Amino acid sequence: MTLLEGAGITVGGDLPHDIQVHDDRFWARVLRDRELGLGESYQEGWWDVRRLDELLVRILTADLQSAVRSSPALVLNVARSWLTNRQTTGRAARNARAHYDIGNDLYLRMLGPEMIYSCALWEGADDLQAAQVAKMELICRKLHLQPGMRLLDMGCGWGGFARHAAIHHGATIVGISPAGEQVVEARRRAGDLSVEFHQQDYREVTGTYDRIVSIGMMEHVGPRNYREFFDRCGDLLTDDGLMLHHTIGSNESTRSVDAWFDRYIFPGGVVPSLQQIAGAAQPRWAIEDVQNLGPDYDRTLRSWHSNIEARWDEVPDYDERFRRTWRYYLLSSAASFRVRNLQLFQIVFSRTGRVSPVYDGVR
């Protein structure tokens, strides 16, 4: 209670960010398991708050997690990430299915009719759909995408970006994802567009492409595989090609992720830092442009939360524990972006070792 009060949080208080504790086991659980215990006790209904994101903003701003010693469960999570490669081809497929194959009905209601995941671009946009279109258009312009170009979409999701690039820029797109339900839905929506989708890992792709893009995919590559990832991109991209990676970014280099997220949301996922990305890219790649859209992700996540809460009755296959899990995922992520603990980077690369024109960056 003293720690919470120091962060401006009153137990049983009246403000939207004040916590209401329903089960006294909450205290020992959080002191034992820190962020893992905080998330799990919320899943189990041991506590509530009217504005979950605002509560977590205060916890993060006061750095309360540093005041609690790591438990064996947290230490084990870090050790596993250091000692094993949790993003091998086989494990990456299982990890992807654990998040992206939990039901298209859920994602349709959360993301909107075009099912565009990852951070939107809100400048000048009045709603989520317009903001997602603005994000996709910005990526196409940063890639200098031209009609007839062949583009590889790594981690293509439900195919929204591929459809946009084909319709509005005349490109031919190959999209890959290890998540089967995504690929099935992407193919269903493709119609007669010049796009094709494959259930594949990036390490299994062949061919040559004028442009490469990944949107929300590098978080699933894993620190042990960053250099292999960039080498694979080098094998696939033409000599004068460009690639863009749109990824959540960490302020520090690490090999592990928050234990709660690792267990319940993104198993095996690790958020890269700019240092890790740049280190893995050298000396083969020149970084042409970096833009940070982190604050836009806060609003995107809150929009997803509003969407799914408003339409929860339309997805009856998910129980109350799952609903609380999903709410905690969306709003705790929003809080992390709000306090700038997480960033969203768009990074454009070209090859080194060749004479090339000055890259014309756009905003």
Q: What is the DSSP string of 305-326?
A: HHHHHHTGGG-TTS-HHHHHHH
Residue 357 has pLDDT above 90, yes or no: no
Domain boundary pick from 16, 36, 69: 69
Whether 95 and 179 share a structural domain: yes
- The 10s digit of each residue's pLDDT in 32-45 is 999 999 999 999 99
Last residue of a domain, one of 22, 39, 69: 69
Helix (H, G, I), strand (E, B) or coil at 73: helix
pLDDT of the residue at 93? 84
CA quadruple 107, 143, 95, 43: dihedral positive or negative? negative
Residues 129 and 214 in one domain: yes
Same domain, 50 and 187: no
Locate 78 and state its tokens: 């870090």
Whether 356 is covered by a domain: the verdict is: no
The reply to whether 77 falls in a domain is no
> Which two three-digit tokens encode residue 340?
């700038």
Predicted pLDDT of residue 81? 61
Q: Determine the pLDDT at residue 97.
A: 84
> 44-90, pLDDT tens digit by residue?
999 999 999 999 999 999 998 888 877 676 667 666 666 677 778 88
Which pLDDT score is estimated for 110? 98
Domain match, 154 and 260 both: yes
Q: Is the pLDDT of residue 141 over 70?
A: yes
Query: What does the pLDDT look like over 165-191, one tens digit per residue?
Result: 999 999 999 999 999 999 999 999 999
Residue 261 in any domain: the answer is: yes
Domain containing 310: what range?
86-351
Is the separation of the CB atoms in 46 and 328 below 8 Å? no
For residues 246 and 186, state if they share a domain: yes
Q: Are residues 158 and 198 in the same domain?
A: yes
Task: Among 249-258, 272-281, 345-354, name the one with the lowest average pLDDT.
Answer: 249-258
Beta bridge partners of 344: 248
Neighbours of 254 (CB within 10 A): 16
Does residue 80 fall inside a structural domain?
no
Shared-domain flag, residues 243 and 125: yes
In what helix (H) or strand (E) does residue 42 lie, and over which residues does it extend? helix 25-43
pLDDT bin (cut points 50, 70, 90) of residue 11 is: very high
pLDDT over 70 percentage in the chain: 97
Q: Domain check: are 302 and 213 in the same one? A: yes
Residue 57: inside a domain: yes
C-alpha span between 155 and 104 (Å, rounded): 16
Chain mean pLDDT for the chain = 94
In a domain, 360, yes or no: no
Of 27, 44, 69, the residue at which a domain comes to its end is 69
210 and 267, same domain (yes or no): yes
Q: How far is CA 266 from CA 60, 86, 126, 263, in A?
A: 20, 12, 30, 7
CA distance 341 to 3: 20
Concatenate the DSSP letters of all residues of 194-222 into one string. Answer: SEEEEE--GGG--S-EEEEEEES-GGGT-
The verdict on residue 363 lying in a domain is no
Task: Evaluate whether residue 194 is within a structural domain.
Answer: yes
pLDDT band at 361 (very low <50, low <70, confident <90, very high): confident
**169 and 109 within one domain:** yes
User: Does one domain contain both 41 and 161?
Assistant: no
Say which CATH number the domain at 113 has.
3.40.50.150
Confidence band (pLDDT; 50, 70, 90) for 148? Answer: very high
Asked whether residue 156 falls in the same domain as residue 100, the answer is yes
Q: CB 316: neighbour CB atoms within 10 A?
A: 8
Q: Nearest to residue 266, comparing CAs of 94, 117, 114, 78? A: 94
**C-alpha to C-alpha distance for 211 and 240, rounded to whole angstroms:** 9
The count of structural domains within the chain is 2
